Structure 1
Amino acid sequence: MSVILSAATFLPPFSPSWILAALLFISAFFFLRRPPKRKIRIPSPPTLPLIGNLHQLGPLAHRSMRTLSAKHGPVMLLYFGPIPTVVVSSPAAAEDVMKTNDHAFSSRPDTSLADRLFYGARDIALSKYGEYWRRVRRICVVHLLSPKRVHSFRFVRAEEASRLVSTVRCACAASSPVNVTELISAFTCDVLCRVLFGKKGEGGGRAELSLHTHVVEAVGGSFPMRDFSPWLAWLDWLSGLDAKVKKASSDFDAFVEKILKSEHESDRIIFSDDHDARRTDMVDVLLSLRNDSSDSLSRESIKAVILDMFTAGTDTTNTTIDWAMAELIRHPKTMAKAQEEIRQIVGWKEEVGEETVQGMPYLKAVIKETLRLHPPAPILFPRESMEDARVLGYHVPKGTRMVVNAWAIGRDPASWEEAEEFRPERFLNSKSFDFKGLDFEFIPFGSGRRGCPGIDFAIVTTGLALATLLYHFDWELPEGVKEEEMDMTESPGFSLKRKSNLILVSKPMNH
C-alpha cells in the first residue's frame, strides 16, 4: 500500500487540460501512422485482352460512349487497346477538365495520323502543349483570325453568298431540286480558298482541295491499330489504311506546294495589318512572317496550318448549315419564324449584310440549337494530362488520355429540358449561352487553352449563309417526301455529318 501511495505522488494531476493534451497526442500519433487514403478508382466497363474496350465502340463512337456513361457514370475509364482513356460526359466533369485543370490537360497525345497527315503534328489542333504550340496559336489568333482580320474578309463572304443565290435561282428557273449539301460544300470551300489562297471558285482548285480534304477527314476518323499496339501495325497495312494515309498526305502536299511556288512565292507581298484584304490572303500573311524571329514558321508548319484551317473551317460551316436546314425543314413553324425575322429586318434589299445578321436573335438561337444537337466535332480532340489531376474527385494520373463527349453533354437531360428536341426558343428564354466555352453545358467548339480559335470566322460565315438562303427562298421537300421520313442518320467519321445529301425544292421570294 505504501508503495502504491509513493508512486502516486509522482503522477501528474488529472486536470481537464492534461487529459485534452493527451487525447490530442494519441490522435495525432494514430493519424500519422494511418495509411494514406486509397485513391478512388474510376468506373470502367470490363475489358478484353489486347483490344481493351474497342469492341464496345460502334461506328458512332459518341453514341456508344454515352450509352456506356449512362451505366458507369459521367467520368469513365476506357482502354483503347492498352491505352487508358478517361471519357467525361457531364458539364461538371468538362469544367474540371477544361477550366479547373485546364493547364494539366492542355497537351495532345502522340498519334500516327497527326504525324503523317499534319507534318509531324505541326498544326494548331494536334501539336503538343509547349512553346511551339503557343507560337502557332498566337500567329493564328493575332494575324489570321483576329476580329479585324475576320471582318476584313467580309467582301469574300458577301460575294460568295451572292453566287450562292445565283446558283439556287438557276435551279429554280429550271424547276430542278437543289442539293443543299453540295451547294453549301461548294460555298464554304470557295470562301476558304479565297481567304487562304486568294483564288476564286474553280480557279482556286476547289474541286481538288475539297477532294483532298474529304480524304483527310475520312482517314482522320479511323483508328490506326499501330497507335494502340505497335506490334499490330501490320493490320493497318493489311486494311489499306497505310496506303490511304500516304496518298492523302502526298496529294495534299503536292497541291499546296504548287500554290506556294507558282502563286505566292513568285510574287511576294509584304504584309501589314493595314494591307488591303482584297490583295492579301492568309498564305501571304504566313509567308511574310517567316522573317519575323518571334512569329516565323517553317515551310512544313505553314502547310500544316493551312490544312488545319481548311479542314476545320469547311467542316464547321458545312455540317452546321446542313443540319440547320434539315432541322428547319422538319419543323416548318420554326422555319417560318426564322424567315419572318430575317425578312422583317432585311426588308426589301437585294443582299443580306453581315451587320444585319448580328441583329437576328432567333436566327442565332437556331444556330445555337443546331450546334447543341449536332456539334461539328461530337468528341473533342483528345487531351493528355501533363500532371496528376482530379476530375469529380477521381484521380487521373499523368499521361492519361482525356476525351470530352460534347455531343452527350449537349443532350444531357439534367441540363436541358426535352434534350432530344429541336427547340431554338430555349436560347431565348434562358441564360445567354455563348460560343466561347464559358458555359459547359454548351461546348461545340471546346473551351480553355485548346478551344477552337476560329469561332468568330465560323459563326459569321454560318450566319450569313443561312440567313441568305432563308431570306431569298422558300424551301420544301420534294413531292411525296414527308418531314417524318427524312433521313437524319449520322455518318461515321471524325465530324458529325448527315449520311445522306439534303435535297430540297426552292421557290424564290417575290421582291
Structure 2
Amino acid sequence: MAIFLCFLSVSLLLTFVPLFFLMRKIKENSKWNLPPGPSSLPIIGNLHLFAGLPHRCFHHLSIKYGPVVLLRLGFVPMVVISSSEAAEEVVKSHDLGCCSRPKTFGTGKLSYGFKDISFSEYGEYWREMRKLAVIELFSLKKVQSFKNIREEEVGFMVKKVSESALKQSSVDLSKTFFSLTASIICRVALGQNFNESGFVIEKERIEELVSEALLALGSFTCSDLFPGGLGRFLDWLFGGHKRINKVFEEFDAFYQKVIDDHLAGKKTVDSPADIVALLLGIMAKQGKKDYFKLSVDNIKAVLMDIFLAGVDTGAITMIWAMTELARNPRVMKKAQ
C-alpha cells in the first residue's frame, strides 16, 4: 500500500509540475492584456489563497496587485474590483459586458433555469420580465394598494413588542423582523397568512429555507469551478447538489400549493389582487400568437425572487437600523 501511494504521488508530481510551467508560459505569452494577479496552481487555481474571510483576502490581494486583480477559482477566471474608480468604469463604461450575473448550479436551480428577473441573462427575455415587473407587479398604484396590509402587520408587531415590554421579557429582533417581512410578503405576493396555524410550511422551517437558499445563491458548488466529472464527483461526495435540490423541492412544493389554492379559489386572506393572482390572470389571457408567454415555472421563478429578496432584505435592513440606533443613544432619543 505504501509503495502504491508513493508511486501515485510521484506520478501526480510529474504530471502537474510540467503543466504548471506550461500554464505560466501561456499566460506570459498571452495576447490579451490581462490584469495582474497571483500565479495559479494546476487544477485548484488560486483557491489556496482563501484561508479566511473572502473580502479580507480580496483586500490583501488588492494591496499587493492593485485595484483590478485576476484570479482563477479552479478552472474559472474571475476579476476582482477593489476601488471605486474601477467599479465605476465597470458599471458605467462596460455595463453591457458585465450586466449578466454568473451562471452557477444554485442560481440556475432556484431560478427555474434562469427564468426569473434577477438571474436571467441580459437580453430580450430579461427586458420583457423587467417590463412586467415595472408595469404590472410594482407600479406605484399597485404598491399603494398594499398600504393597509403593511400598516396592519406593523401594528401587530408593535403590539407584540409592547406586550413583551410590559412583561419585561426579552425580544429577539431578528425573529421579530423576519416574521414581519414574511407576513407582509406572504399576504402581498402569495395571498397567504404567514401567522395562521395551517400555513403550508412551519415558521421555523421557512426561516431555515430562506437562509439555505440565500447561501446557495451566493456560493459556488464544485461543479461550478471544476467542469466535467471531477466537479460532479466532488459534489456527490460532499452533498453540494443534494442540499440545493432539497431546498428547491421544498420551495417548489410551497409555490405549487399556493398556485393550486388560487386556481381552486382557496386563498387564505382577502386582499387586493396579490401577485400570484395577477400573474395567473396574465397567463390566462395569453394568446397563441403572443411573443412573450408566461408559464407556471416563470411564475414560480418570480415568486422566488420576491420571497427571498423581500423577506431577507427587509429584515436585515431593520436589524441594522436598530443596531445603529442602539449604538447612537442621541439618535435613538431623537427618533423616540
For the superposition of Structure 1 and Structure 2, which TM-score range results when normalised by the shorter chain? Answer: 0.7 to 0.9
CA contact (8 A) 2:174 2:319 kept: yes
Letter in 1 for 2:233: W
Unaligned runs of 5+ residues in structure 2 are 1-30
Question: Within 5 Å, which residues of 2 pair with 1:96-135?
Answer: 96-135=89-128
Q: 1:59 to 1:186 in 2, by over 3 A?
A: farther
Q: 1:127 to 1:51 in 2, by over 3 A?
A: same
Q: Which residue of 2 aligns with 1:247?
A: 246
- Aligned partners of 2:215, 2:165: CA distance in 1, in Å? 33
Q: Which residue of 2 aligns with 1:286?
A: 279
Letter in 2 for 1:266: A
Letter in 1 for 2:209: H
Residue 198 in 1 paired to residue 191 in 2? yes
- Aligned partners of 2:99, 2:79: CA distance in 1, in Å? 15
Deviations 1:93-128 (A, max 9, x none): 222221222122222332111222221111111111
- Picking from 323, 332, 336, the partner of 1:335 is 332
Residue 167 in 1 paired to residue 160 in 2? yes
CA contact (8 A) 1:289 1:295 kept: no
Q: Which residue of 2 aligns with 1:92?
A: 85
Q: Normalized per residue, which structure has more helix? A: 2
- Aligned partners of 1:328, 1:145: CA distance in 2, in Å? 30
Residue 320 in 1 paired to residue 317 in 2? yes
RMSD: 2.2
Shift of 1:49: 1.8
Aligned length: 294
Q: Which residue of 2 aligns with 1:54?
A: 47
Q: 1:303 to 1:174 in 2, by over 3 A?
A: same
Q: Which residue of 2 aligns with 1:72?
A: 65
- Aligned partners of 1:59, 1:289: CA distance in 2, in Å? 48
- Picking from 226, 230, 242, the partner of 1:229 is 226
Kindly indicate whether structure 1 or structure 2 has the higher relative contact order, using CA contacts under 8 Å at least 6 residues apart. Answer: 1
Q: 1:60 to 1:280 in 2, by over 3 A?
A: farther
Shift of 1:313: 1.1
3-state SS of the aligned residue for 1:103?
helix
CA contact (8 A) 1:127 1:133 kept: yes
- Aligned partners of 1:162, 1:186: CA distance in 2, in Å? 13
Shift of 1:205: 4.4
Shift of 1:232: 2.4
Deviations 1:76-105 (A, max 9, x none): 111111211111122222222212221222
Larger radius of gyration: 1
Shift of 1:40: 4.0
Letter in 1 for 2:313: T
3-state SS of the aligned residue for 2:97?
coil
TM-score (norm 1): 0.54
Q: 1:147 to 1:67 in 2, by over 3 A?
A: farther
Q: Which residue of 2 aligns with 1:41?
A: 34
Deviations 1:396-432 (A, max 9, x none): xxxxxxxxxxxxxxxxxxxxxxxxxxxxxxxxxxxxx
* % identity of equivalent residues: 38
Q: Which residue of 1 aligns with 2:16?
A: none
Q: 1:332 to 1:58 in 2, by over 3 A?
A: farther
- Aligned partners of 2:65, 2:143: CA distance in 1, in Å? 43
Shift of 1:252: 0.8
- Aligned partners of 2:91, 2:36: CA distance in 1, in Å? 21
Letter in 2 for 1:334: V
Letter in 2 for 1:223: F
TM-score (norm 2): 0.81
- Aligned partners of 1:222, 1:124: CA distance in 2, in Å? 19
Q: 1:288 to 1:281 in 2, by over 3 A?
A: same
